[in-house]
Amino acid sequence: MKKVVAVLAVCLFLATTGFVSNVYSAEEGKVKIGIVDLHRLINESEVGKKAKAELENLIRSKQVTIDEKGKQIEALKAEIDKQAAVITADAKKAKEEELERFVRDYQRIISDSQAEVKKKEAELTTEILKQAREVINKIAQEGSYSLVLEKADGLVLYFSSGLDITDRVIKKINEAKPIDKKTETKTKPTKK
């Protein structure tokens, strides 16, 4: 937090002294700032919606596996309760150990599924942000922006809506060809 305040203080100082405007936009004589809402960009862009759908499909498939394992555990519990009066102590102990293995396996599946979903979410978000940065850089250069900030809670307390370039970024990302890793690897020339 202290770093953010320090950076903003330096930018404000440089802007008021005229240094930034001379360096970044000498023709205009002022600093041009843009704001991008990355959360909105991820949720509203086509690539973001596609990533969200992909993640939801992964979650659904993991949930099916978890639900099936849960049903197996419930069935084994019911079988142990039903047979409790008629089976021997050794057989009951073996069934309870089997139940414990099922429960440990169930917990491992949940943990592995959560880790896989988090990893996939991070991969998808990283790819979207990489594409967004390229588009933001292009818009910033074409529009002679001195500074583009992310609209983050607590970081940017106020800004005029005229500074928000999120819609332009979303439009450019939607117009861009999506990066397809499968075709990207096929079209790369091989070294001989």
Measure the CA–CA gap between 139 and 133, rounded to whole angstroms.
10
Tell me which of 44-48, 53-57, 91-95 is least confident: 91-95
Dump pLDDT digits (tens) for 90-140.
888 888 899 999 999 999 999 999 999 999 999 999 999 999 999 999 999
Which amino acid is it at 2? Answer: K
- Assigned CATH for 32-178: 3.30.910.20
Dump pLDDT digits (tens) for 7-30.
444 444 444 444 443 344 445 568
Measure the CA–CA gap between 46 and 14, rounded to whole angstroms.
38
The answer to whether the CB of 72 falls within 8 A of the CB of 109 is no
Measure the CA–CA gap between 5 and 42, rounded to whole angstroms.
26
